Structure 1
Amino acid sequence: MAEQTRTASSRRSSTRRKPKKNQIPFGLLTVAAIVLIGLWLNTRSTTIAFFWMTGNIFGYILQKGRVCFTASMRDPYLTGGTTLTRAIIIALAVTTIGFTAIKYGYSVAGLPIPGMGFVQPVSIATVLGGIIFGTGMVIAGGCASGTLMRVGEGFIMNTIALVFFVVGSLWGAHDFGWWSEKFISNGPRIFLPDIFGWFGAVALQLLVLFALYVFAERYEIKRGASH
């Protein structure tokens, strides 16, 4: 009798569900619009057209891969799963090799190393900033990339987070000179190739990432969250 009741209930619920709309036409129209806008932007600026196309491609990859730095740090504590954490570690390892190759090529050629101007001093502000930003990411439910991705999906809460993300960035940029003078500029600038050499710096970073990967994998097994 109970089985018949459950079967009848499931049938009623299935009949109440609205049939899903075919999304293929919308997808084709979206792709066509992206291409047409890219072609139009190309007549104005090749650089802007390139940014437009790569932005859409990266957005698609983020949405399908569900890539989010917040989730990679949050999921191990909430669910014990470290799949995304390990994916981020692998991404960091790949980018370490790629960017080091670019910078090393410039160094060997005697050219200014790109990105050296962004090597910021390490200070207490680095630690406090990381804690504040990490706390904000968890509360907002996404990092910068994750927030943008979910805004594209239509999440209202992430849209609100994006607004305050912009407000906070503008406020930080406005007061950055004061923070830099009082707290940041006095700290040491650490560029690993200057300390360990190019090969040593890459080897050290890859070794640390490998250790983190193994730890994350064993942590997931210990928590019983492995799939």
Structure 2
Amino acid sequence: MAKIAASTATDATPSARTGARPQKKRKKSQIPYAAIALVMIVIAGILFARKSDNLSISWIFGIAFGFVLQKTRFCFTASLRDPVLTGSTSISKAVIIAFAIATAGFAAIQYSASLADPANIPGNVHPAGIHIMIGATLFGIGMVIAGGCASGTLMRMGEGFTMQWITIIGFVAGSVWGIRDYTFWDSNFFQKSPTIWLPDYLGWGGAVFLQLLVLGLLYWAADSFSKRKLGS
């Protein structure tokens, strides 16, 4: 018995004798695929530039925006889903910061435009009513089931997620159906709802301050929630 045990110990692999884990299989290099994709992006940009400068600029910004989305995992769905599922609010706070930056930027653009021509201020001001609540609820349910909002869906399509390719079909179908029924919603909801533009009521300074204050309170609430849930 002693000889058998000694033979078994001798025949065992080094990893088994030392208790070390077997080495993981090396992942295939993605560099060739990245190089091919880069060449295709450049060629497409050149072709777009021959037709229109705006097309090429939009192409460059679209590629850059997609790259940032993929690396940061920035997603509006995750900003609302993660606090409930994991307690993390890192993406939630990122979205709030993005809103704050957009608020300052759009306010500056609109204020400058109002000085030149108050009747033609860029940006859309839509009626606020129960239709916003209905649309937000339906969209919120849909994006949680689908696992992504519009930006997250497009980003994950590029990563090869089959579910997101199915989701984009739903996006298109829903948009077409919405256009089909737009007259109904417009006559029964849009036209009967009040249009509220804060600068009309609070002035430019008051409107910007109020919006940034609300965003600041939301950021504080998100940060406090995360610390309480995760204990950090």
Q: TM-score, normalised by structure 1?
A: 0.91
Q: Size of the alignment, in residue pairs?
A: 218
Q: After the TM superposition, which residues 95-110 of structure 1 pair with which residues of structure 2 at under 5 Å, given as runs?
A: 95-110=102-117
The corresponding residue for 2:163 is: 157
1:124 to 1:98, Cα distance in 2 relative to 1, 3 A: same
Which among 1, 8, 19 is matched to residue 7 of structure 1? 19
- Structure 1: how far apart are the matches of 2:194 and 2:96? 26
Q: Would the aligned equivalents of 1:119 and 1:191 in 2 still touch at CA under 8 Å?
A: yes
- Structure 2: how far apart are the matches of 1:190 and 1:5? 74
* 1:125 and 2:152 are equivalent in the alignment: no
Aligned-pair distance for 1:184? Answer: 2.2
Structure 1 vs Structure 2 CA RMSD: 1.8
* SS of residue paired to 2:99: helix
1:225 to 1:57, Cα distance in 2 relative to 1, 3 A: farther
* SS of residue paired to 1:43: helix
- Structure 1: how far apart are the matches of 2:19 and 2:172? 51
Aligned-pair distance for 1:32? Answer: 2.0
Which among 176, 192, 206 is matched to residue 212 of structure 2? 206
- Structure 2: how far apart are the matches of 1:183 and 1:103? 27
Alpha-carbon displacement from aligned partner over 1:76-127 (angstroms, at most 9, x marks no partner) = 0111000000000000000100011000000011251011xx3111111111
Q: After the TM superposition, which residues 1-227 of structure 1 pair with which residues of structure 2 at under 5 Å, given as runs?
A: 7=19, 10-11=21-22, 14=23, 17=25, 19-111=26-118, 112-115=120-123, 118-224=124-230, 226=232
Aligned-pair distance for 1:5? Answer: 7.9
Aligned-pair distance for 1:225? Answer: 5.8
Amino acid at match of 1:69: F
1:6 to 1:186, Cα distance in 2 relative to 1, 3 A: farther
Alpha-carbon displacement from aligned partner over 1:130-157 (angstroms, at most 9, x marks no partner) = 1111110100000000000001111001
Alpha-carbon displacement from aligned partner over 1:49-87 (angstroms, at most 9, x marks no partner) = 111111111000100110100000010011100000000
Alpha-carbon displacement from aligned partner over 1:173-211 (angstroms, at most 9, x marks no partner) = 111111110122101001011111011100000000000
Q: TM-score, normalised by structure 2?
A: 0.89
- Structure 2: how far apart are the matches of 1:71 and 1:166? 22
Point out where structure 1 has 5 or more consecutive residues left out of the alignment.
Answer: none
Q: Would the aligned equivalents of 1:123 and 1:188 in 2 still touch at CA under 8 Å?
A: yes
Point out where structure 2 has 5 or more consecutive residues left out of the alignment.
Answer: 1-8, 10-14
- Structure 1: how far apart are the matches of 2:139 and 2:145? 10
* SS of residue paired to 2:181: helix
Fraction of identical pairs, as percent: 47
Structure of higher CA gyration radius: 2
Aligned-pair distance for 1:28? Answer: 2.2
The corresponding residue for 2:3 is: none
Alpha-carbon displacement from aligned partner over 1:34-63 (angstroms, at most 9, x marks no partner) = 112101110111111111111111000100
- Structure 2: how far apart are the matches of 1:177 and 1:53? 36
- Structure 2: how far apart are the matches of 1:40 and 1:125? 42
Q: Would the aligned equivalents of 1:79 and 1:225 in 2 still touch at CA under 8 Å?
A: no
Q: Would the aligned equivalents of 1:123 and 1:183 in 2 still touch at CA under 8 Å?
A: yes
1:6 to 1:65, Cα distance in 2 relative to 1, 3 A: farther
